[in-house]
Structure 1
């Protein structure tokens, strides 16, 4: 890392410590960070993911704001053709989300008319849609394929619901449906490009870096408590187990970052993403459990910052599909064995 980049990282983390859960301030902070943080795959992926982790260790919700904004900027930079962002009023000060979830009974369709695209329908799980200026949104095009579009969320045809949203974690990062009625948009890549590009899998690993940061913040509560009085053998065992979990997750992320920046010819991006996300998610859940066992109810009941951090991370972790992602990884391993005869280990 260059001295200039390191200085910016340290200054940004110091600024984040002053945000204190205010979403508008977090959005401004994230938008500024997006002007200088490196994109994944450009030689500094490890720096980027380490920044995600360090930010989440301070404020999980702010990292939840930062990561999709940076992901959107990376997607736009990876687009095979230039994207006409001026057509949707986007510029350097825009704040971005990425809305790609699907939901039963909900559909978003994109139709072209005279060379102009418009979106109609409802998109679920749109985080911070009421606060962001722009988003990258997947929609179904003629023939049934999914395609990515850039859209202004301040168009008159956009209605961002404010719920239902009743979590105890990420309370201000509302993720609710958005309705689109004839909203102008511009395509980003061809149909299928969004899900097929290597950057899709890089973005999935970037989310895991935020999970690691949240777990690190929780683990620090145990470290501080252990330093205030002589720990017994059980407390030491919890501390050691937490350290192993965090070290293993960090090693998995660092290894993945090295592959992203210098990929071998036979790299399997889906497998790398599933392995790394799974390793980090497991580590984060172990940290939550171990710290809870070691410290008991007091910090969850009496320490507002710690209680919020645990609740935020528990909800954020549910972006990992747990056993379903493990099943997807198992299928990928068997398919590769059948296709090439190569064993994974």
Structure 2
């Protein structure tokens, strides 16, 4: 399962952080699953049994620690925990959704040009029609939280049973060399019954929206930490030179800065909702994405092609990370951040 040597635990937070016992239990279970990440069924069975930590810090510690073991496993776990958090938020806001025990969840909120999933009331029930893009693991999950258009201007969140015969999960196109088993293809929906979760627009307005985005960044960060370990091992080798230490130093500083940002962001989020949460999450994602891309580049330059072709765990980690970090919108996110700063809507 991924690398044989795991980074120290905890990665992000002090050892006295609340909920770390739950994180330890989850990681113990993760270590016991054969083929974690590449065996989607086994990974989902494990994920369904994971207790969702109550604090952002502990949740991100769990995600980062899983990603340090296997990037694909974190990619499976993160949306499941995010969905459970959304359902808890909905219940607290008076929008409780009945949830079966033992369900595996995804969150499908992406949009694409030329395709829309629409929701309308039919015979006293909400039914979904159309196509939803980028639905990760739709053929493997039991349920998903899905955004659908209720009119030309507004989207609303719905809980959808993916086992409904009116839901068809496509198998592609998916030619990925990283996260190859985490298929993210469209679903076609022809009148499936769905349960509304919140009012129109609630999904984006809710305080926890920013938390989920930063949780993905914790996965990216944790996935890159073993590359720092590989660089450190290379820098300790008998034939190591100054350049090997430069590559290690550059990756170390980038990941250290990203860790500091994640820790501060988790602390701020735990203190309660604020108007700047979305901007703070966008900044954190950008810092982490930059650090991961720096680390990938430094590992490539320092280690050369050998581990990419001869070390299965290393090669899979690099391929998975390169696909996963592309969930970051790069310059588009920077433009959004710059727009907020330019209009005076953001401070430090």
TM-superposed CA distance for 1:17, in Å, is 6.9
C-alpha separation in 1, matches of 2:30 and 2:73: 11
- Identify the residue that residue 122 of structure 2 maps to in structure 1: 113
Residue aligning to 1:77: 88
Deviations 1:258-295 (Å, cap 9, x if unpaired)? 0110047x540121011100000000000000011000
Correspondence list, 1:301-312, <5 A: 301-312=309-320
Structure 1 segments, 4+ long, off by >4 Å, are none
- TM-score by length of structure 1 reads 0.91
Structure 2 distance, partners of 1:219, 1:307, is 14
Could you say which residue in structure 1 is the equivalent of 2:8?
none
SS across alignment from 2:49: helix
Mapping of residues 37-186 of structure 1, within 5 Å: 37-39=52-54, 44-79=55-90, 80-85=93-98, 90-142=99-151, 144-186=153-195
Q: What whole-Å deviation, never above 9, does each CA across 1:315-341 have from its counterpart, x for those lacking one?
A: 111100001100000001122x1x6xx
Q: Which residue of 2 aligns with 1:216?
A: 225
The answer to whether the 8 Å contact 1:119/1:184 transfers is yes
Pairs within 5 Å for 1:227-242: 227-242=236-251
Instruction: Give 2:7's aligned residue.
Output: none
Q: Which aligned pairs between 1:179-218 and structure 2 lie closer than 5 A? A: 179-218=188-227
Assess, with a 3 A threshold, how the Cα gap between structure 1 residues 10 and 141 changes in structure 2: closer, same or farther: closer
| 1:121-147 deviations in Å (ceiling 9; x for gaps) | 000000000000000000000353100
Equivalent residues of 1:151, 1:186 under 8 A apart: yes
Cα distance, 1:240 vs structure 2: 1.2
Aligned mates of 1:16, 1:194 — CA distance in 2: 33
- Aligned-residue RMSD, C-alpha: 1.7
**Aligned with residue 43 of structure 2, among 4, 10, 26:** 26
Secondary structure in structure 2 of the residue aligned to 1:198:
coil
* 2: CA distance, partners of 1:327 / 1:210: 23
1:15 to 21, 32, 37: 32
The structure where helix makes up a greater share of residues is 1
Unmatched runs of 5 consecutive residues or more in structure 2: 1-16
Residue in 2 that maps onto 1:319: 327
Task: Give 2:304's aligned residue.
Answer: 296
